[in-house]
Chain A
Amino acid sequence: MVFTSAVQLAKRAGLDQYWKKRRIFRLSAHYYGRARNCYVLAIRAVHRSLAFATKARKFKKEDMAQLWETRIAAGSEQHGVKYPHLREGLHRCNIHLNRKTLADLAIWEPYTFRALTQIAWTKMRQDGDREVKEMDGIPPNNVVVPSSKN
């Protein structure tokens, strides 16, 4: 950048500083106390919160997955099927529903979810899974699942 005089250079520097600070203040606009308007404190708080935000992007996905697993496990244990058996049984029946969908079904469409647990349970029992066989439960009499080829 070419500055024809020192005055212009000084002006330019002030402007740059203004926009630089403004960029930070935009991100600290909702903070409480001096971290909102004092630049030295604001930039620390903004850097801190951006670092948290970076980590939180990963944690949010993990937390949601964990919540979905808790919900699916709760829904399926009510019908006598454990979470790993449900996922494995559905996978073997080529029903590839993800955790989010299964958790939504467990809450909002409980009868569909019960049908899925029965399919998984019947499939696992048909394949001779030892743990499932030992579990007591009333086998549903209206569920037919394809037999394994291998």
Chain B
Amino acid sequence: MSNSHLFMSAGWVTAPLNNGIGRYSGQLQRVVIKFCKTHGCSRGVREFVESNLIDFSRQNPGVAVYVKPRRHRAPTITAEYCNGERGYMHVSNMSRDEVYKWLSHQTTQSGREFCRYRKFWRTETPSIQGVWSPHTFRDPRLNLAEFPMVSTAPKDWFRFC
């Protein structure tokens, strides 16, 4: 059992600016791939850069990709989003496919902070016919009635109880 949700912020499933209704724009703006040219734990990232990076960049023209080699440090991927948030992940000892998988995963994110969902369903228009209110099924004749009504008044004037 995990209680990690206790300190998370709470929210609902949302898309920034109704993204995807009508048109979709990728929220990922920039990716910085840092790795070492010699170290073993960067091998998967090096292979990814050699064989997949050009394809990835062509498929995602909206994403600026920076590649930053650095000596003897663990490889990481930093993804920056429209809303100013950034995702940072270690990709040490990952294979080429795994790096590709996680990068594609970052591409699909909105950059919003992870939150605990209050509900799994949410809509802006919960009601088509109008929400129930005390006046929904009120008999309009009651507007002119004088209280207290005598018991000879029609039965359907009274609330059914």
Contact = CB atoms under 8 A, between A and B. Distances in A.
B129 A107 contact: no
Contacts of B159: 78
A108 B156 contact: no
Interface in A94-121: 106-112, 114
A145 to B, nearest CB: 21
Nearest to B125: A108
Interface residues of B, number: 19
Contacts of B136: 110
A75 B153 CA distance: 24
A144 interface: no
Contact of A109 (B1, B127, B137, B161): B127
A136 B157 CA distance: 12
B51 to A, nearest CB: 41
A74 to B, nearest CB: 10
A77 B137 CA distance: 12
* Chain B at the A interface: SS class: loop
A29 interface: yes
A80 B130 CA distance: 21
Nearest to A78: B137
The A interface is mostly helix, strand or loop, or mixed, namely helix
Interface in B127-161: 127-132, 136-137, 155-156, 159-161
A106 B129 CA distance: 11
Nearest to B156: A138
Nearest to B133: A110
24 contacts: A26-B2, A26-B3, A27-B1, A29-B3, A29-B6, A29-B7, A30-B6, A77-B160, A78-B137, A78-B159, A106-B132, A107-B131, A107-B132, A108-B127, A108-B131, A109-B127, A110-B129, A110-B132, A111-B129, A112-B129, A136-B155, A137-B156, A137-B160, A138-B156
Given A29-B7, A79-B137, 20 more contacts: A26-B2, A26-B3, A27-B1, A29-B6, A30-B3, A30-B6, A50-B1, A75-B132, A80-B160, A107-B131, A108-B129, A108-B131, A109-B129, A110-B131, A110-B132, A110-B136, A110-B137, A112-B129, A136-B155, A137-B160
Interface of A: 26-27, 29-30, 50, 75, 77-80, 106-112, 114, 136-138
